[in-house]
Chains A and B, each alone.
Chain A
Amino acid sequence: MKLVDVMSAAGLSIYAIVALVLFMTAFVAIVIRTFAPSQASQHEYDARLPLSDDDQAPAQAGRGVTRG
């Protein structure tokens, strides 16, 4: 008996439902957490992370003007 025969006869379709429930639950948990009020200040802080360092471009000295 080959693996294919075993798998075909095993009636595995229930696992698809189980997986669906697990994935859905995980996703709903993520959504709840994301919108929890306790997270708000955290998100505010995180959102500013890209702006936290100072990397100004050299001043636009005008077209074609070289520097250095």
Chain B
Amino acid sequence: MSTRVDTFAYDDAIVRKFLWATFIWGLVGFLVGLLIALQLANPVFNFGLEFLSFGRLRPLHTNAVIFAFAGNAIFTGIYYSTQRLLKARMFSDGLSNFHFWGWQAIIVAAALTLPLGFTQAKEYAELEWPIDLAIAVVWVAFAINFVGTMVKRRERHIYVAIWFYIASIVTVAVLHIFNNLSVPAGPLKSYSLYAGVQDAFMQWWYGHNAVAFFLTTPFLGLMYYFMPKAAERPVFSYKLSILHFWTIVFLYIWAGPHHLHYTALPDWASTLGMLFSVMLWMPSWGGMINGLLTLRGAWNKVAEEPVLKFFVVAVTAYGMSTFEGPMLSVKSVNSLAHYTDWIIAHVHTGALGWNGFLTFGMIYWLAPRLFQAPLFSKKLAEVHFWIATFGILLYVASIYSAGITQGLMWRAFDETGRLAYPDFVETVMKLMPMYWVRVAGGSLYILGMLIFGYNILKTWMARPATYEVPLVTAAPLGAQAPEPHAAPAGGLVASFTSVKWHRRWEGAPVFFMVMVVVAVVVASLAEIIPTFLIKSNVPTIASVKPYTPLELAGRDIYIKEGCFNCHSQMVRPLRHETERWGEYSKPGEFVYDHPFLWGSRRIGPDLARLGGKYPDLWHVRHMEDPRSVVQRSIMPPYAHLQRKALDFDQIQSRVDAMVMLGVPYGDAVTNAPAMAREQAQAIAAGIESQGGPAGLADREIVALVAYLQRLGRDVRQLPATASAAPAAAVAPGGGK
């Protein structure tokens, strides 16, 4: 046995940096959330500014809270715990700092590009391709730093928290790369490689696993480290934590299709997603119970320790939202909840309760250690806890009732068999009181955040002039005595359950990573590939043709304004849906939709069958001032579309990108701008003859009108020319 011992210090400076970033971006993300909550309660809060409209800001809110707040919180915890669990300083301080500054730069880029309307239109993957490349580079740097630390670790055994980190790091990389594959059509514009059904499938495979491997597994790793730390006792059952890990890795990756129940996704995929989601209930509750029982015999500490209070609510919220998730994935439940606020309530139980409270608890525990000063005020932490808890309750209670109310109103029939609420806006007005309660709940949560910030700031101000850097000693792995292992018993089972081979695997973290990737990729391929390669999954429809160049430009405006954040384009095959919107949507309708725009929430009506429903002039007036046409509408105004000139020259590059994706564009391959001009003139002339404003032929609004009038037209085989909108069929009084 060697006596060689290393002396080293942990890098806590990087942890402090991530801690501050967590607070700052968290506050920004929450405030943007409050603003968009206000916009739903009263459209005046859109301020008539295109950069502040709901469609532009909603992605900013989701990206900020997921990748900026939760992301930095994860990194805070990972950088603190990994070094200590592996008894090693991070592999490279340079990489740590590159990770930190790179990630913050990406967040700033997101905060600038999203309000400006640069978006890929895929939820939580909105950022355009150059930023996606930057994310990939920074993530790889993080992964190298992490693996490097594992390789030079001085603790042979790898604690379960690290397993969760590894699974998160590799899976997020896979998800990010595959969902963002796209063809650039400009410096900040791209089209998804996939179309329609495949794109939707890929997106929700990504979307759900972003929840799984960004908001769940890394936080579970944090729970398995910081919960025992705060409770000063090991986790209740280590066996259970191992099963928790493997079950989640095996099951989560399949669950995505439950976001697409009753859509044009093949039924088998939807059923598969539902079954795996229901199975997830078990490991999730196993994990919750494991977390809560870690406090066995320490419940008295919960009464006096705010850190533990936050953890108890966090783990309980994990249990609540992972009970609800499987329930919502059951098709019949989903048919009521999909497109409603119920889903918003569900994610906020998880985000505010699980992610938020785990982060707060963790930082209250870390701050005194990182800033080497006692926490400024335990009492304020208690106040934060109660205010934020009350805020969450107000938020979710109101939004649950909003979701269920609207879901029930949509599907209600009167005694004559007609829709009880045919006017969509009526089902929106019903939600207003609940939207105001949400604003109150969210405000309380933000108030708590401010108290938290003050408390941490005061703690930081009491820090020593220079931080003490304690030295740690540990023997490197090579110098440690080989472990005594059990006498080799005979038999297959005995040798399998012996320690020896596991040691070899554990000594090769790269191998472990490869195994996780295999589990994740094989499952993903088995689920997604058939929709690409089995014909019967997406039957083609002969009458479905590509968008004209002008319609394509209009679709880009629809994407830029984030219309898909409030309007779905997917009629489900349910009676109340076909009564309200028309013929249900078919997979073959979307074969040229790069990206798909099915949406996930109906704050406004579905638009899949909009084409030909109203005259062009109706759309012009409606976009200029929605309330002049639909009195109680909460839609933001888009008057700027009548002012801004349409960039006709850009259209060719857009068409070229579509051609690269295999869309048969015929004449438009060389002649797109001229074709677009011609169609724009016809539409503008039509608008003028209907008594509308003149001179719109070179404005963005004509392109958008052309696109909106095209929606659902092909499958119904209506006349294809966009200028043929039924000028005579003036809609009665703006009703829906």
Contacts and interface: CB of A to CB of B under 8 A. Distances in A.
B463 A68 contact: yes
Interface in A35-68: 35-36, 38-39, 42-51, 53, 55, 57-68
Given A35-B239, A63-B378, A68-B465, A53 B486 contact: no
Contacts of B225: 50
B7 interface: no
Given A3-B533, A57-B368, A19 B522 contact: yes
A68 B228 contact: no
A50 B374 contact: no
B493 A38 contact: no
A26 B515 CA distance: 11
Contact of A46 (B157, B243, B247, B379): B157
Contact of B373 (A8, A23, A50, A66): A66
Contacts of A62: 374
A34 B84 CA distance: 25
A48 B235 CA distance: 8
Nearest to A29: B496
A49 B157 contact: yes
A14 interface: no
A50 B462 contact: no
Interface in B429-471: 458, 461-465
Nearest to B515: A26
B458 A5 contact: no
A1 interface: no
B242 A34 contact: yes
A47 B234 contact: yes
Smallest CB-CB A-B distances: 9 pairs: A68-B464, A36-B497, A7-B533, A47-B234, A57-B368, A66-B462, A43-B238, A47-B238, A49-B159
A33 B87 CA distance: 27
Contacts of B239: 34-35, 39, 43
A4 B232 CA distance: 58
Interface string B272-304: 000000000000000000000000000000000
B374 A58 contact: yes
Given A38-B497, A51-B232, A65-B374, A58 B238 contact: no
What size tier do the contact residues of chain A reach?
Answer: 35 or more
B97 interface: no
Contacts of A67: 373-374, 462, 464
A47 B224 CA distance: 9
B204 to A, nearest CB: 20
Interface string B658-689: 00000000000000000000000000000000
Task: Describe B's contact surface by its main secondary structure.
Answer: helix
B534 A7 contact: yes
Interface string B179-212: 0000000000000000000000000000000000
Interface of A: 3-5, 7-8, 12, 15-16, 19, 23, 26-27, 29-36, 38-39, 42-51, 53, 55, 57-68
Contacts of B323: none
Contacts of B32: none
Contact of B472 (A3, A31, A53): A53
Interface string B492-508: 01101111001000000
A60 B534 contact: no
B497 A61 contact: no
Contact of B375 (A4, A45, A60): A60
Contacts of A43: 238-239, 242
Interface string B363-376: 00100110011111
B279 to A, nearest CB: 11
A31 B238 contact: no
Interface of B: 81, 84-85, 87, 155, 157, 159-161, 224-225, 228-229, 232-235, 238-239, 242-243, 246-247, 250, 365, 368-369, 372-379, 458, 461-465, 472, 486, 493-494, 496-499, 502, 519, 522-523, 526, 530, 532-536
Contacts of B463: 68
A3 to B, nearest CB: 7
6 contacts: A4-B532, A7-B534, A31-B243, A38-B497, A55-B84, A58-B373
B243 A34 contact: yes
B229 A51 contact: yes
Contacts of A46: 157, 159-160, 238
A7 B525 CA distance: 14
Contacts of B234: 47-48, 50-51
Given A31-B243, A51-B233, A65-B462, 4 more contacts: A7-B534, A36-B493, A46-B238, A68-B373
Contacts of B378: 60, 63
A64 B377 contact: yes
A19 B250 CA distance: 12
Contacts of A31: 243
Given A63-B376, A66-B461, A68-B464, A50 B159 contact: yes
Nearest to B467: A68
Given A50-B228, A66-B461, A8 B533 contact: yes
A19 to B, nearest CB: 6
Given A34-B242, A38-B498, A64-B376, A49 B536 contact: no
B536 A57 contact: no
A17 B378 CA distance: 56
Contacts of A34: 239, 242-243
Nearest to A65: B374
Q: Chain B CB within 10 Å — which of A55, A60, A61 has the most?
A: A55
Contacts of A64: 376-377, 458
Nearest to B529: A7
A50 to B, nearest CB: 5
